[in-house]
Amino acid sequence: MEDDNELRPLVLNLLRRSGFRASGARNGVEMQHALQSASVDLVVLDVMLPGRSGYDLCRELRGACAVPIILLTALADASDRVIGLELGADDFIVKPADPRELLARIRAVLRRNGGRSQAQGTRDVAHFRGWQLDLRRRELVRPDGVVVELTTGEFDLLLAFVERPGRILMREQLLDLARHRPFGGLERSIDAQISRLRAKLATNAEDGAHLIKTVRGIGYLFGSTVDWA
Amino acid sequence: MMGLLPRSLAGRTLAALCVALLLLFLAMAAVHAVLLARTVDKAAEEILARQLSSLMDSVAAAPEWDRDAIAHGLSRSDLEVHWLPANVPDPWGNEHVRWVPLSDRIRDLSRFPTAVRIRPGTIDADQKRILGVAAIADFPDGSHLLVRMSSFNLLTVDTAALYGYAAATALFVLGAAALALRSATAPLTALSTAVQGLSLEEALPAVSDHAPEEVRTLARRLNDMADRVRAALRQRTLALAALSHDVMSPVSRLKLRAAEMPDGDQRQAIQRDLAEIETMVTDVLAFLRGGHESEPVRMLHVASIVQTLVDEFASTGEAVAELRMDDVVIEGRPTALKRAIGNLISNAATHGRAPWIAVENRGSDLAIRVGDNGPGIPASDLPLIMTPFFRGDRARAAGGGSGLGLPIARAIAVAHGGDLTIESPAGQGVVATLLLPKKMRATTSDTESRRFLPRTSVNDACTTPGRGCCSRNRSDGRESTAPRGHASGR
């Protein structure tokens, strides 16, 4: 949903060209119509709307159903992001959004949501060995509460591991995962990203290697159980 | 001469007081000395007159046959009294009378002598006495009385006590003046100290009620002036913020339109230009915010932020070398710090060659150093480099950049209680050092509540409500998935 009459068709065009079925809505009423007339997998919601704030619509929508929401706004600072995420949005994109980034975020949220329905319950924060991986804030927190910064590529890699603990992930699988990212995926090899990720996950020397184990000739394995909250 | 003048108000006043008191003291001492000398003279005359006249009376009142015996009886060790029945040759030459007031006074007091001649003797100043005073009195019957006084004590005054008293008075006056000055200048000094460290966003701290009326008025006037300056600045800021906002809407649309264009150089060029516009607008908004992101303070692993930025730059083809990467955790605002460090890396990558970055643990502080091996900054530009919108000739020629990268980075550093310094030793490129305290200082959270750019009021300045204009004036707080060219003044 987007109130700008020129921007809305452009976004719709982009989504349709990328293989999504998309319909636009100018306001909350039209959005309700759209939600009732078809089964909706994801809502991209402009926060800055005439009349009612996108935040209100976001809260309402979240109360009514479990459809994933991506908030789209003009300028916003970190506190807007926090408000949006606390209201139940799944992601937050700042205008002017790069088209490739918009698509990547939509795919990421859809992928995450697919996992969510299988696991029966919310999958917002993953806990492993005291670490926390917050999916909505895209944030990794050390056992001692320190925020560890990840590139988008590293985050997606770690997410792939955390969603499949104890299973061997093949290099090709990881590459495929990275291919959807606009940046950072292909230029650096998976191995380089893994070693960087291990270093960031290491509170002491052998810790990182323990968490992400190498399976020689095949791929990698996440060596910890994961709790979701 | 002017150079000797003390600079402070209190110094000047006390110096003037000292000089005045010294002159007063000297004048007093001089007047006192003159008056004292006169008094001593008068008193010596009177006492001598009474002593001599009573001697003369005693001898002259006796019968003639007894006078010599009485005269001898009156003599003491320091006093010779002789009665001479006949004329005596004048012992002191022709001048008979040398001490006129004394001889006059003796004749007033004693009825016997017809004439009195005095030899004044000499004054022994050290001992405060007169040596060798002598007098000859002529009686009517032709006899004479000769008196010789070997020593006569003068009146003395304890001048040390007097001068001491005067000095004590002077000190007391100086002390009182110093106290009065202090009570007048201390609020002034406090006021100027308060104003010095004050940013425009902060209100002047209240002046104490005990401060003199003039100081309180000054404080009020300063506050009024600051209000006017703030209002004028806010007006401009709002206009700039509103404009920057409104630019973002067409940029959004253009980005999407560009995505629909066929692949090719043209599309890439348009996308680059759009990215540049976006960077500039984002920078302006970040700068207007003055480094105060309203994001919460967290414990941050700095090396991971730096590594992430380096990887993001690497993905756009800018290789940045990681030197020392100390494992340090600090308190800070993640998005703001990421922006500050990103700006520095972007500068090094854009303007220099072989950029590098290091994270160094320095006790209670953390230093993030970003350097390059480029042409460096001309020494004449170095002082200007933190000036908003300043861009060096080379940066201007290279195009792009808002001239805000460094001012933003510094504002963020300052908001964290740290600082940013730029060095450019000749021929060694540029080194930017971001110094941050591990524990954020309390002041930063205070100023946050008085942010220069109020969140709510930008609405008033919006030119096209409902179209790209919104109730927010914040710039993006997004975690940039791609590094943007934060260029700054080089």
pLDDT > 50? residue B476: no
pLDDT > 70? residue B292: no
CB contact under 8 Å between B474 and A77, yes or no, is yes
Beta carbons of A43 and A105 less than 8 angstroms apart = no
Measured CA to CA, the distance from residue A115 to residue A109 in angstroms comes to 10
CB contact under 8 Å between A80 and B477, yes or no, is yes
Contacts of A48 in chain B (CB under 8 A): 470-472
pLDDT > 50? residue B458: no
Top mean-pLDDT range of A106-120, B121-135, B195-209, B437-451: B121-135
Q: Which of B245, B298, B471 sits opposite A147 (nearest CB)?
A: B298
Classify residue B114 as left (phi > 0), alpha (psi -120 to 50) or beta.
alpha
Contacts of B479 in chain A (CB under 8 A): 138
Contacts of B305 in chain A (CB under 8 A): 149
Measured CA to CA, the distance from residue B468 to residue A219 in angstroms comes to 47
Contacts of A82 in chain B (CB under 8 A): 295-296
Q: C-alpha distances in angstroms, B311 versus A111, A154, B479?
A: 25, 10, 14
B5: number of Cβ within 10 Å: 10
Classify residue B444 as exposed, middle or buried by CB count within 10 Å of its CB (0-12, 13-18, 19+): buried
Beta carbons of B308 and A180 less than 8 angstroms apart = no
The confidence score (pLDDT) of residue B87 equals: 67
Residues of chain A below pLDDT 50: 116-120, 182-187
ipTM value: 0.71
The confidence score (pLDDT) of residue A177 equals: 67
CB contact under 8 Å between A74 and B467, yes or no, is no
> Quick check: B300 contacting A, CB < 8 Å?
yes
CB contact under 8 Å between A92 and B478, yes or no, is yes
Q: pLDDT, tens digit, for every residue of B337-355? A: 888 999 899 888 888 888 9
What angle separates helix A171-179 from helix A190-201, to the nearest 10 degrees?
90
Q: pLDDT, tens digit, for every residue of B45-87? A: 899 899 888 888 888 888 888 888 888 888 888 888 888 887 6
Nearest residue of chain A to residue B260 (CA atoms): A14
CA distance A134 to chain B (A): 14
Q: Residue B366 — φ and ψ, nearest 5°?
A: -130, 135
pLDDT > 90? residue B27: yes
CB proximity under 8 Å: B 451-490 to A? 465-468, 470-479, 481-482
Nearest residue of chain A to residue B301 (CA atoms): A148
pLDDT > 90? residue B162: no
Nearest residue of chain A to residue B278 (CA atoms): A96
Q: Residue A81 — φ and ψ, nearest 5°?
A: -60, -45
pLDDT, mean of residues B169-195: 86
The confidence score (pLDDT) of residue B175 equals: 92
Contacts of B478 in chain A (CB under 8 A): 76, 81, 92-94
Mutation target vs A (from B246, B479, B480; most A CBs, 10 A cutoff):
B479
Contacts of A197 in chain B (CB under 8 A): none
Helical (H) or strand (E) element with B108: helix B100-109
Q: pLDDT, tens digit, for every residue of A172-218? A: 777 776 655 544 444 457 778 888 888 888 866 556 667 888 888 78
